[in-house]
């Protein structure tokens, strides 16, 4: 059940990871936040931090509004 769920959610997870990747690159280049740059480095170092990535994505989208 869990394997099927993960396999089904993989495209969505990949989309959020890609969005977070691009968002962190833009934030790091603009130098708006050091914390986002640290998360960007952690994201490059591991494939299993999409929970942190998604929480950061939610925080960024709510702060942009």
pLDDT digits (tens, 9 = 90+) for 13-54: 666 677 777 776 666 555 545 555 555 555 554 555 556 666
Maximum Cα–Cα distance across the chain: 42
Q: Are 53 and 37 in contact (CB under 8 A)?
A: no
Q: Indicate whether 54 belongs to any domain.
A: yes
- Establish if 1 belongs to a structural domain: no
- Alpha carbon distance 14, 6 (integer Å): 11
**pTM of the predicted model, to two decimals?**
0.27
Establish if 52 belongs to a structural domain: yes
- Expressed as residue numbers, the domain containing 56 is 12-64
* Within-domain flag for 43: yes
Predicted confidence at residue 19, as pLDDT, reads 73
Within the chain, residue ranges assigned H as helices are 2-30, 34-45, 50-64
The total number of structural domains in the chain stands at: 1
């Amino acid at each position: 059940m869990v394997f099927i769920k993960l396999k089904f959610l993989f495209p969505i997870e990949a989309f959020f990871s890609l969005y977070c990747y691009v968002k962190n690159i833009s934030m790091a280049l603009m130098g708006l936040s050091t914390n986002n740059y640290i998360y960007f480095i952690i994201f490059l170092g591991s494939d299993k931090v999409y929970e942190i990535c998604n929480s950061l994505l939610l925080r960024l989208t709510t702060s942009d509004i």
